Structure 1
Amino acid sequence: MDQLHLLSFGDHGWGDELLLGLGVTLSLAICTLPFAIALSFLIHWAKMSRNRLLHRFGMLYTTVFKSLPEILTLLILYYQAQAIIGWLVQSVFPGARVSVSPFFAGMVSLSLVISAYGSEVVRAALAAVGREQFEAAQSLGLSPGCAFFKVILPQLWRHAIPGFGNLWIILLKDTSLVSVIALSELTHVAGLAITTTRQPFLFYGLIAVIYVGLVTLSAQAQKRLERRVNRGFARLEV
């Protein structure tokens, strides 16, 4: 019972801090996902481009961010970006100081990593839709951009949801890495609580349960979304 008292809300427990940490974790994941998905499409487009420079950039991007550990990407971006931005600001405004927010650094670094894998999800989804759909849209007089957004994209999501759903779960868990740059997300708050109370089993066990709950809810939401977008297709395939 004394240990459970440490999870209470108020001045004598860590409930408030853990709840705020959970909010930061979810905010970071939710803010990162749209940027990661947008980058996934752009990187796939670069890899498929006939422009040799764009193609090489897309392939190099995917290779680098698939190869580097996520935590190393985060540390390099956070500290190197601070140095570069600080130098640029100092050159324009001598004496001025600027710092990169840990939240922003985490969002950017996780977007880079997730989009490297997301570009492969986009590639597989486009292959499942088929080139003939794009050709049929063009035969109706639609421009390439209009054909993509009105014909290809609505079909593409049906095939991309499982892949992006898995990447969302990976992203949700990878937010814990941002604790190394002192962002007060769930794992960082738990670490502070453990340092103060010397109760590692309680707090690590609690955040483990929270992550399992978040992943379970995400998986259920993904299944519901898949059933929704696949309505009608099952009967057609039969």
Structure 2
Amino acid sequence: MWIIGVLGFGQQGWGGLLIAGALMTLCVTIAALLLGAVLGTMVAWAKLSGNAVLRALGNAYTTVFRGVPELLIIYLIYFGGSGAVTAIGRYLGYEGFLGLPSFAAGALAVGIISGAYQAEVYRGAFLAIPKGELEAAEAIGMHRGLRFRRIIAPQVLRFAIPGIGNVWQLSLKDSALVSVTGLADLMRTSQVAAGSTRQYFLFFIAGGCLYLVLTSLSDRLFNRAERRANRSMPSSLGQA
């Protein structure tokens, strides 16, 4: 059973490194999703504002980062960012190349892409809130902070959960592209193991199975979160 030995956790096995790569992929995706949530919230607010300049900037952000290939964005962030940091270092008197950390560059690139998609999710979730509720809150004198905390935020979160789940799955797969920066994620580890053992089919299948495990588990978590959010809402809203 040489397959067990190669994929195992012994001295000759690559199982431990594959699991470590999967955890690295998970960390990159979580960091990217959190960064994307911040960017997406700001962009959604800009696109919903009454300011024409802010709307134009928000539209430009979502158009560019949803239309440009993800790999190109990663190259721009990693190599372009490293070049910019090196130039700043030389200006400050430091000689030599200064590269961005692979994890930071990868999370930043995937987070920027995720933010473009999350912006549309939050914008759609806000537009799904019944206007009568917002008008009623304003009529009884709720200030903006209280209106946001009691009406807008809970319902935006409820409506956004399915879309955020899709963005998570997209970011999880996009994180495989971060392997071009040398980060030891699941994709990179699978490539190294396949090249070292010449068992390309075996390790790429193993890597694909680990991706499926991550996506399946996260899908169940988002489905549970969606059911929990809908449980506290009137059934008539869930049918609208």
- Whether these two folds match at TM > 0.5 is yes
8 A contact 2:179–2:187 mirrored in 1: yes
Tell me, yes or no, if structure 1 residue 124 matches structure 2 residue 127: no
Q: Which residue of 1 aligns with 2:168?
A: 168
> What's the CA shift for 1:97?
5.0
CA distance in 1, matches of 2:92, 2:132: 53
Q: Which moved more, 1:108-117 or 1:133-142?
A: 133-142
Matched residue type, 2:37: I
Q: Which residue of 2 aligns with 1:69?
A: 69
Change beyond 3 A, Cα 1:235–1:131: closer
**Structure 1 residues 87-118: Cα deviation after superposition (integer angstroms, max 9, x where no partner):** 12221234365321111111111111111111
> What's the CA shift for 1:172?
1.1
Change beyond 3 A, Cα 1:233–1:94: closer
Matched residue type, 1:147: R
Q: Which moved more, 1:201-210 or 1:90-99?
A: 90-99
Q: Which residue of 2 aligns with 1:177?
A: 177
Matched residue type, 2:158: R
Q: Which residue of 2 aligns with 1:189?
A: 189
Q: Which residue of 2 aligns with 1:53?
A: 53
Q: Which residue of 1 aligns with 2:217?
A: 217
Change beyond 3 A, Cα 1:138–1:90: farther
> What's the CA shift for 1:227?
1.1
Give runs of ≥4 in structure 1 deviating > 6 Å: none
Q: Which residue of 1 aligns with 2:32?
A: 32
Change beyond 3 A, Cα 1:90–1:149: farther
> What's the CA shift for 1:186?
0.5
**Structure 1 residues 56-99: Cα deviation after superposition (integer angstroms, max 9, x where no partner):** 21111111101111111001111111111221222123436532
**Structure 1 residues 11-35: Cα deviation after superposition (integer angstroms, max 9, x where no partner):** 2111121111111011111111111
**SS across alignment from 2:99:** coil
Q: Pairwise CA RMSD of aligned residues?
A: 1.7
> What's the CA shift for 1:146?
3.1
> What's the CA shift for 1:8?
1.6
> What's the CA shift for 1:2?
1.2
> What's the CA shift for 1:232?
4.8
Matched residue type, 1:229: A
Q: Which residue of 1 aligns with 2:41?
A: 41
Q: Which residue of 2 aligns with 1:78?
A: 78
CA distance in 1, matches of 2:3, 2:100: 37
Q: Which residue of 1 aligns with 2:88?
A: 88
> What's the CA shift for 1:222?
1.6
Q: Which residue of 2 aligns with 1:98?
A: 98
Matched residue type, 1:214: L
Q: What percentage of aligned pairs have identical amino acids?
A: 35
> What's the CA shift for 1:48?
2.5
> What's the CA shift for 1:119?
1.1
Q: Which moved more, 1:180-189 or 1:228-237?
A: 228-237
After TM superposition, the structure 1 = structure 2 runs for residues 148-167 of structure 1, keeping only pairs within 5 Å, are 148-167=148-167
> What's the CA shift for 1:141?
2.8
CA distance in 2, matches of 1:104, 1:112: 12
Tell me, yes or no, if structure 1 residue 203 matches structure 2 residue 203: yes
Q: Which moved more, 1:142-151 or 1:208-217?
A: 142-151
CA distance in 2, matches of 1:89, 1:137: 53
8 A contact 2:158–2:229 mirrored in 1: yes
Change beyond 3 A, Cα 1:97–1:142: farther
TM-score using structure 2 length: 0.92
CA distance in 1, matches of 2:156, 2:208: 34
